[in-house]
Amino acid sequence: MMGLFITFEGVEGSGKTTQMQLLRQHLEARGCTVVLTREPGGTPIAETIRDVLLDPAHGAMAPAAELLLYEAARAQHVAELIRPALEQGKIVLCDRFADSTTAYQGTARGLDYEALDRLHRIATNGVWPHLTFVLDMAPEEGLDRARERGRFDRMEQESLEFHERVRQGFLRIAKMEPDRVTIVNAARSIEDVARHIQLRLDEYLQARSTGAAP
């Protein structure tokens, strides 16, 4: 697969969408073809699953049902959009991916990590990010940013303790996979965060050009 797959992770309102748009501009200015997408979602079927997952009226959703719906949306997204784009040599920037399931459904909800890993393998079928940015900040600050947009979705309505566990979940993944996952302090200005991301990407592309990175 010739393309480049970059994912953005972090607590609610940490600035993923903002940073993806800036990185797209940066890459397009260099002549790259960039696809922006998100999870859950990215294709019509997966967006329909997103509506079910995030509807505040679905507070009774069982944790296992939640997990399987996130993975179902991912399986469709990978098959229909991400894999074909990577095979065409494009750069795919994705707002959340399997690390979100590990942090939200694993660390925060307490579902079994091994079961999650098996489901990731089925849903992704070998498609895995080359590079991941975890935008790290205190969850209460991110939720404040998200709140300014209006009504909270079903996940945003979870307790602050839940969102703190999510944050710890992402930090755990970054510790386990330091080559793939970069922690970015997202409490800084938009420009400072963007600069950090661009520097890390340039470093990665340099390593890739010499065969030192996948």
Residues forming contacts to ligand T5A in the complex (CB under 6 A) are 12-18, 39-40, 70, 95-96, 100-101, 104-105, 145-146, 148, 155-156, 189-190, 193
Contact in structure between 85 and 29 (CB atoms under 8 Å)? no
- Shortest separation between residue 213's beta carbon and ligand T5A, angstroms: 25
d(CA 96, CA 92): 12
Closest approach, Cβ 28 to ligand T5A, in A, equals 18
Least Å distance, CB 175 to ligand T5A, is 20
Q: Left (φ > 0), alpha (ψ -120 to 50) or beta: where does 89 sit?
A: left
CB neighbour class for 39 (10 Å; exposed up to 12, middle 13-18, buried from 19): buried
Shortest approach of ligand T5A to residue 214 CB, angstroms?
A: 23
- Smaller CB separation from ligand T5A, 149 or 210: 149
At residue 100, what are phi and psi to the nearest 5 degrees? -65, -40
- If the CB atoms of residues 47 and 208 are measured against ligand T5A, the closer one turns out to be 47
What tokens were used for 136?
Answer: 């790290």
* Cβ closest to ligand T5A, residue 140 vs residue 206: 140
